[in-house]
């Protein structure tokens, strides 16, 4: 089932079962999809929708930092719950070991050795892990191997 249809089904289901958080998250994702479709006058496919969801997860993770500084545990808990719901729509996330092997393979292919090669390395790795791994984590693993 296409992701768009799954989101619609989940919205209906969450309304029936009165799952407020899930309903709000799905509504937010659907609104972001609709906004992009209207702005760009295109029909989004699953890969575009995965990009939107991944971006929203990143934004929510950034928000958690602010909530921690403000000592707002209620908002931290809510945001973590929203992230969990969003992760359900992404492909299974890669483990650090899997990312490690992808990074090593990319380093072998490009011959990257210094931090100057970071951009070229990330350009090779990110399309492979799109939606399956957090860019920050990939960057940390890459930095570990470069001097």
Rg of the chain taking only CA atoms, in angstroms: 18
User: What is residue 122's predicted lDDT score, i.e. its pLDDT?
Assistant: 87
Instruction: Find the Cα–Cα–Cα–Cα dihedral 40, 43, 49, 51, rounded to 10°.
Output: -40
Tens digit of each residue's pLDDT (9 = 90 or more) over 29-53: 999 999 999 999 999 998 899 989 9
* Of residues 96, 23, 19, 84, the one with CA closest to residue 56: 84
pLDDT digits (tens, 9 = 90+) for 79-112: 999 999 999 998 888 888 898 899 889 888 888 8
Residue identified by tokens 């492979």 is 128
Q: How far is CA 102 from the centre of its chain?
A: 18
Residue 117 pLDDT grade (very low, low, confident, very high; cuts 50, 70, 90): confident
| 125: nearest Cα among 100, 104, 103 | 103
Tokens of 54: 């991944």
Strand, helix or coil for residue 39? helix
Residue 140 structure tokens: 């940390």
With tokens 């029936």, the residue in question is: 16
Report residue 133's pLDDT band, with 50, 70 and 90 as the boundaries.
confident
């Amino acid at each position: 089932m296409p992701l768009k249809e799954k989101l619609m089904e989940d919205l209906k289901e969450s309304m029936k079962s009165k799952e407020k958080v899930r309903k709000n998250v799905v509504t937010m994702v659907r609104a972001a999809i609709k906004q992009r479709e209207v702005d760009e006058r295109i029909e989004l496919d699953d890969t575009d929708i995965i990009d939107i969801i991944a971006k929203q997860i990143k934004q929510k993770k950034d928000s958690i930092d602010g909530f921690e500084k403000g000592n707002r545990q209620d908002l931290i808990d809510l945001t973590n719950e929203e992230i969990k719901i969003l992760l359900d729509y992404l492909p299974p996330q890669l483990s650090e070991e899997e990312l490690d092997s992808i990074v090593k393979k990319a380093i072998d292919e490009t011959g990257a050795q210094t931090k100057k090669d970071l951009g070229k390395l990330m350009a090779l790795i990110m399309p492979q892990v799109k939606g399956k791994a957090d860019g920050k984590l990939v960057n940390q693993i890459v930095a570990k191997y470069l001097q």
